[in-house]
Amino acid sequence: MPTMLTDVFRGHPIHLPHSHQPDFTSLRELPDSYTWTPKDDLLFAAAPSPRATGENIPLIDLNNPDAASQIGHACRTWGAFQIANHGVPLELLEGIEFLTGSLFRLPVQRKLKAARSETGVSGYGVARIASFFNKQMWSEGFTISGSPLNDFRKLWPKLHLNYCDIVEEYEEHMQKLASKLMWLALNSLGVSEEDIKWARLNSDYNWAQAALQLNHYPVCPQPDRAMGLAAHTDSSLLTILYQNNTAGLQLFRDDIGWVTVPPVPGSLVVNVGDLFHILSNGLFKSVLHRARVNQTRSRLSVAFLWGPQSDTKISPVPKLVSPFESPLYRSVTWTEYLRTKATHFNKALSMIRNHREE
Ligand SMILES: O=C(O)CCC(=O)C(=O)O
Ligand SMILES: [Fe+2]
């Protein structure tokens, strides 16, 4: 039996240093355990270069006949882009935002009834990457992998079925959209379904699975010294992110520094994940990103992390590898990669990189 995403950390518990959630609303000053300095994260205060002004993540209209090449260009330069005219109904985006808001407004004791276990993927808790940092992040999260029914029943004894329907519909739309975006990006490199065995063998999306990560960044008394979600790359093929109308997401570019992604109502942010970087033999960048917080407005985001079925081996597409060189990465399943990431975090990609003769 292939491992399901829900079982990925069974036997690989992650010990989170601070797993209880504070009551954010009661804190008037940032406690020391939440105060970040460059010692806690090397890029914490990376100053934007003068070039940063005017540089913005591309907003791509999917109805534009040129969308594939724009997406390909964005994947190579930014590892991210925003999309408009994506076909996901506005009511569904509003529905998932409403669900996320209602979940995080529940009393802490209720949320803790659906707390994520140390070996689990689903449930309420701090971000898994918290175990790699000495300081705590100013956020709370809820991960959905597989059916949310059991957890939702604990959170909302009466309304859980309505909320399950929203999640199911949202995931269906995201799944289709993610697949469409992956092929648009690959087509821009001259790669088609014929070139990827697992895609050719499994029509539709039988080879894909996903997780939904709901994030809440409460109002923060000293946002400049706090961190909502520390810098990381996603382990997915692609991540599609919905953010409410409060800015906070930032992307890192080596040549520019941190760039804030402005919320554009109705649009979605797409990130290239580590697996897509591997599949493209390093041509697409898996974007380093983080979330900052705000003094007056709370922020919500919903990340749809999309990847292959657990037994699908991801390796660089042969067409993208020069006949004179070995592929940049060896092949990995999503499960293997997630476990590598759980141990080595931002060094996971270098752990599976093939060493080339110089
Ligand atoms: O809240 C955001 O904008 C970023 C969320 C994120 O990066 C994640 O959940 O992986
Ligand atoms: Fe992320």
Ligand 1 atom closest to Cα of residue 234: 10
Does residue 301 line the site of ligand 1, with CB under 6 A? yes
Lowest-pLDDT range of 224-228, 241-245, 277-281, 308-312: 308-312
- Predicted pLDDT of residue 1: 47
Q: Is the CB of 216 under 6 A from ligand 1?
A: no
Residue 17 has pLDDT above 60, yes or no: no
Above 0.95 for ipTM, yes or no? yes
Domain residue limits, the chain: 77-191+203-352
* Domain at 77-191+203-352: CATH architecture: Sandwich (2.60)
231: pLDDT strictly greater than 70: yes
In this model, does residue 164 exceed pLDDT 60?
yes
225 counts as catalytic? no
* CA distances for 118 relative to 15, 36, 126, 198, angstroms: 6, 25, 11, 32
Mean pLDDT within 291-306: 96
Nearest to 57 by CA among 236, 249, 188: 249
**Ligand 1 atom closest to Cα of 303?**
9
Ligand 2 centroid to Cα of residue 130, in Å, is 13
Check pocket membership of 249 for ligand 1, CB cut-off 6 A: yes
To test the ligand 1 pocket, which listed residue (214, 249, 294) has its Cβ within 8 A of the most ligand atoms?
A: 249
CA atoms within 13 A on the CB side of 291: 27
Residue nearest to atom 9 of ligand 1 (CA): 303
Half-sphere exposure of 269 (CA within 13 A, CB side): 27
Distance of CA 333 from the midpoint of ligand 2 (Å): 19
Least confident residue range of 28-32, 49-53, 247-251, 353-357: 49-53
